[in-house]
Amino acid sequence: MKKKVTKIGVLTSGGDAPGMNAAVRAVVRTGIYHGLEVYGIMRGYNGMVDNDIFRMEGKSVANIIQRGGTILKTSRCKEFFTPEGRKKAYENLKKFGINGLVIIGGDGSFRGAQTFSNEYDIPCVGLPGTIDKDIAGTDFTIGFDTAVNTAVEAIDKIRDTADAHDRLFIIEVMGRDAGYIALHSGIATGAESVLIPERKTDIEAIIKQLAEKERRHKLVNLIVVAEGDNFGGANEVGKIITERLPMQDVRVCILGHIQRGGSPSCFDRLIASRMGYSAVECLLEGRHNVFVGIVNNRMHYTPLNEAVKKKQRINEEWMKIVKILAS
């Protein structure tokens, strides 16, 4: 029989994402609603290993729903990769009597949670907090919508100057392993091409397409590149296009960390609140070692070990849409 969960810890881990605070708030308030003791764990798994754990009340999460970043801080924790580090973490949790954990983070953080819950009798529930949306088992991750809207806003501004000067802008957005920010923002801003890590970049085809449009005097002004595209990112793409098409006035713009920050969008606050509420319900109902997602607007639960294995897949039709709409 599964033991009853009475004291829960919540932490944010890995890369930060806007909406993490809204998720923390939902976990804390739902926990308190159900009469649980709730503890905040600072700086991801580091707080578990170093015993940086504190009791949270309803008011601890006042006025944070609209704030980017995470009040619990986040980090990567080398020690948690080792059995000794995880043992220390377990002993610290035991000191507080914590017997359930909510982990808000990406697939790496879920891997950590999976390993930990295999070794120790502390059930874990994950919430997907990552701007990259690179976790299978959920249509959306907390932070993606905000990040992609930030990218769209920035690219729209760049489009104005691109248009005024008839320039070609190569814009790099975040996504080392996943092209969702590039694909969504590229379609939403009418980009000519979108280059993503999931597809091999065919630079010759892009040059051919640009040359053909040059002949037609079509004003081509935006290419969106995910930082992890296999050609080497926007700088490399910019370099070769400048060499091969000297008539084009090429500029490169790397959006960088502005995509991580800022006040979360309504959508991210909403899914963070629904997921945070659901995580606590999972712990109480004995649905353990899963992560909470949303599929077709319904809560969806995936075992942590499966979340770790599967990746979302890029829909081929979306790539076709980019091509057709840019012709």
Q: Which residues bind ligand ADP (CB under 6 A)?
A: 13-15, 45, 76-77, 80-81, 105-109, 111-112, 115, 130
H/E element, 204: helix 203-215
Phi, psi for residue 321 in degrees, rounded to 5: -60, -45
> In angstroms, what is the minimal distance from the CB of 17 to ligand ADP?
8
Catalytic site residue 132? Answer: yes
* Beta carbon nearer to ligand ADP, 2 or 176: 176
DSSP string, 166-185: TPEEEEEES-SS--HHHHHH
Distance of CA 100 to CAs 93, 241, 279, 287, Å? 9, 54, 10, 11
* Beta carbon nearer to ligand ADP, 13 or 150: 13
* Beta carbon nearer to ligand ADP, 197 or 238: 197
> In angstroms, what is the minimal distance from the CB of 109 to ligand ADP?
3
Cβ-Cβ contacts under 8 Å for 315 (sequence gap 6 or more): none
50, 52, 121, 132: the active-site residue: 132
H/E element, 91: helix 83-96
What residue is closest to ligand ADP based on CB? 108
* Beta carbon nearer to ligand ADP, 77 or 183: 77
> In angstroms, what is the minimal distance from the CB of 150 to ligand ADP?
18
Helix axes 180-188, 316-325, angle to 10 degrees: 30
Phi, psi for residue 325 in degrees, rounded to 5: -75, -20
3-state secondary structure of 275: helix
3-state secondary structure of 125: strand
> In angstroms, what is the minimal distance from the CB of 245 to ligand ADP?
38
User: How is residue 230 annotated by DSSP?
Assistant: T
* Beta carbon nearer to ligand ADP, 134 or 229: 134
> In angstroms, what is the minimal distance from the CB of 35 to ligand ADP?
30
3-state secondary structure of 197: coil
* Beta carbon nearer to ligand ADP, 47 or 186: 47
How many Å apart are CA 83 and CA 69, to the nearest integer? 29
> In angstroms, what is the minimal distance from the CB of 123 to ligand ADP?
17
How many Å apart are CA 13 and CA 129, to the nearest integer? 9
Distinct helix (H) and strand (E) counts, the chain: 11, 11
Q: Tokens 């829909």 appear where?
A: 315
Beta carbons of 192 and 214 less than 8 angstroms apart: no
Catalytic residues: 132
